[in-house]
Homo-oligomer: A and B are copies of this chain.
Amino acid sequence: MRERVVVRIESGDFDPGAEFRLLCERTAGAGGIGSFVGIVRGEAGGRAITAMTLEHYPAMTERAVRAIAEEAQRRWGLLGATVVHRVGRLVPGEQIVLVMAAAAHREPALAATSFLIDWLKTKAPFWKKEHFADGTAAWVAAQAADEAAAARWR
């Protein structure tokens, strides 16, 4: 039996093209695949960023991310979903997160893609710290907009 949901938490980089091919191979009959890749930006609030650290709760992270992906699979009848989330130190331009959702039609594929990234931002145990060019660092504050985006899917 092919796995519907593939979840990986890792410090190394990932290859979106390879993940796409793997998802295609395990989702015969899909009519559409939606995806989102998040990338570290070089600035936040007008301040230059030199790096970002992603802390997580190792014993809980994969379980929480898998629960989110399985919730998406159930809600939209996905044929398959892939979530890869990086942890540790990343520099601007590096990929942070990938979500992909394969479904029979485009609407569930794209809705599930949005759901996955919205819930990862607010319901999985990751915390971002930004390191600025002036040597200071600050934890990223939770955004009311992110909470509102996640609440759309209640």
A residues adjacent to B (C-beta < 8 A): 15-18, 20-21, 24, 28-42, 93, 104, 106-107, 109-110, 113-114, 117, 149
Contact = CB atoms under 8 A, between A and B. Distances in A.
A8 B107 CA distance: 24
A24 B17 CA distance: 12
Given A16-B17, A28-B93, A33-B37, 10 more contacts: A15-B17, A16-B16, A17-B18, A17-B20, A30-B41, A33-B36, A33-B39, A41-B104, A106-B117, A107-B149
A36 B101 CA distance: 10
Contact of A36 (B17, B28, B110): B110
Nearest to A34: B36
- Interface on chain A toward B: helix, strand, loop, or mixed SS? mixed
A49 to B, nearest CB: 11
A35 B32 contact: no
Contacts of A20: 16-17, 37
Contact of A113 (B28, B34, B38): B34
Contact of A110 (B28, B30, B113): B113
A29 to B, nearest CB: 6
